[in-house]
Chain A
């Protein structure tokens, strides 16, 4: 089986890896680049725990091949904080206790960040629909929605 050489950018850093064409981007992030923030919940596009952004577009990294990442700009949950300074979304998730086991959290943070970049003033309904592909077995979603809505409000006031 021939391996493919992939050059890509992850959270602003140029990285390279060799992969089998059957390996997903999620496999490559976790097993080759040691970026274990993105989680595998289902592997079939249903849960959103593997969410990352590719060229500014939110996708499931379990539904994309590692070879397809060549030449792309990938952003994962590891790139959300600025060094030790948490992103406002991360801060609000802690304040609202918007996580329990935390498996869904990296995917939800990436998805919520992508929403606020596209729409700084989403309604609650828009937020719920945007995050419909991010499943959480613990929180009941309400705290997550409150945290996202409040972050949006604070970011609007700050800008």
Chain B
């Protein structure tokens, strides 16, 4: 295994473009090292991106949007004085990942690019409308988070491409987001279902919504029928029931020891309702 620690994304991209065999980028390493140790994946080339300047920065831009460096950790996101006020759902989803020790290293970008269908931060990011900058041999492009994973362990990034920044939109007025997952334990487990909801209100009426499901299909799902079910409503019981039905209908899960297909499908609806209520309360400026 060759180890490199380039000083720029262009250099990282060139190293990856010219590498043969298996290449991995090293952010927090909480997936890469586990796969290396269990001999699932031994990269031929490992490219550590943490020596690139600014990769741990969390920046609020002049327009209210956020740029999160690709090495900023879950702990740094949770400790940030303002980020969690704007995007509590995204921060909570990241904070659900692993233990205190894992939080000290794990990143949003690693969670996304590892390609696990159960990755916790990914539905929250998809709901929030997060995009990433991808740097490759041909230059850079902006890609929506939900376009990155293409199946378990697979992404749409081509050879030589890597994520160089994460962008969260400006929160804006009267908006709120939330993420909930179901796990059989209270800590340290993999999502059986995860649901991210992000919405905006005009008075009591939902005017914009994005609803995303994790762990119920080979990739994260951004479910338009869920958004339609609540847009125009005041999140009354009929809208919540329609939301739950749309969430369950979108599921295409697997059966495993953590949950059956029937259970995952049912729980997706239940969690969608609960997450929507929390996001709604947050949009109203209430504690939730």
List 13 extra interface pairs beyond A45-B33, A63-B101, A68-B48, CB under 8 A.
Answer: A21-B46, A22-B1, A24-B33, A45-B30, A51-B101, A57-B75, A60-B102, A63-B28, A63-B30, A63-B34, A115-B100, A133-B101, A133-B102
The answer to whether A21 touches B105, judged by C-beta atoms less than 8 angstroms apart, is no
Residues of chain A with a CB closer than 8 A to B105's CB:
59-60, 63-64
| Complexed CA–CA distance, A43 and B99 (Å) | 15
| Complexed CA–CA distance, A50 and B38 (Å) | 17
> Could you list some 26 contacts between A and B, CB below 8 A?
A21-B2, A22-B1, A22-B36, A24-B33, A44-B34, A45-B98, A45-B101, A51-B101, A58-B100, A60-B101, A63-B34, A64-B29, A64-B33, A65-B3, A65-B26, A67-B3, A67-B48, A111-B101, A129-B100, A129-B187, A132-B99, A133-B98, A133-B99, A133-B101, A133-B188, A134-B99
| A46 close to chain B: CB less than 8 A | yes
Residues of chain B with a CB closer than 8 A to A65's CB:
3, 26, 29, 33
A24: nearest chain-B partner, CB-CB: B33
Residues of chain B with a CB closer than 8 A to A63's CB:
28-30, 33-34, 101-102, 105
8 A Cβ contacts from A51-108 to B: 51, 54, 57-60, 62-65, 67-68
**Shortest Cβ distance from residue A31 to the other chain B in the assembled complex, whole angstroms:** 15
Interface size on B, residues (CB 8 A): 28
| B257 close to chain A: CB less than 8 A | no
8 A Cβ contacts from B47-97 to A: 48, 50, 73, 75
Interface residue from B3, B34, B102 paired with A21 (Cβ < 8 Å) = B3
| B129 close to chain A: CB less than 8 A | no
| Complexed CA–CA distance, A65 and B34 (Å) | 11
Residues of chain B with a CB closer than 8 A to A62's CB:
33, 37
8 A Cβ contacts from A117-159 to B: 129-134
| Complexed CA–CA distance, A24 and B26 (Å) | 13
Most chain B CB inside 10 Å of its own CB: which residue of A21, A24, A115: A21
The answer to whether B33 touches A48, judged by C-beta atoms less than 8 angstroms apart, is no
The answer to whether A43 touches B37, judged by C-beta atoms less than 8 angstroms apart, is yes
B36: nearest chain-A partner, CB-CB: A22
| Complexed CA–CA distance, A59 and B5 (Å) | 20
Determine chain A's interface SS by DSSP, over half rule: mixed
Residues of chain B with a CB closer than 8 A to A114's CB:
100
Residues of chain A with a CB closer than 8 A to B37's CB:
24, 43-44, 62
Most chain B CB inside 10 Å of its own CB: which residue of A48, A60, A63: A63
Residues of chain B with a CB closer than 8 A to A45's CB:
30, 33-34, 98-99, 101-102
| Complexed CA–CA distance, A4 and B187 (Å) | 37
**Shortest Cβ distance from residue B42 to the other chain A in the assembled complex, whole angstroms:** 8
| B6 close to chain A: CB less than 8 A | no
| B137 close to chain A: CB less than 8 A | no
| Complexed CA–CA distance, A115 and B149 (Å) | 35
**Shortest Cβ distance from residue A22 to the other chain B in the assembled complex, whole angstroms:** 5
| Complexed CA–CA distance, A85 and B50 (Å) | 38
| Complexed CA–CA distance, A41 and B127 (Å) | 37
| Complexed CA–CA distance, A79 and B188 (Å) | 28
| B259 close to chain A: CB less than 8 A | no
A63: nearest chain-B partner, CB-CB: B33
| B169 close to chain A: CB less than 8 A | no
| B232 close to chain A: CB less than 8 A | no
A133: nearest chain-B partner, CB-CB: B99
| Complexed CA–CA distance, A76 and B34 (Å) | 22
8 A Cβ contacts from A22-50 to B: 22, 24, 43-46, 48
Residues of chain A with a CB closer than 8 A to B100's CB:
58, 111, 114-115, 129-133
| Complexed CA–CA distance, A57 and B3 (Å) | 23
Residues of chain B with a CB closer than 8 A to A43's CB:
37-38
| Complexed CA–CA distance, A57 and B103 (Å) | 9
8 A Cβ contacts from B1-32 to A: 1-3, 5, 26, 28-30
| Complexed CA–CA distance, A28 and B46 (Å) | 19
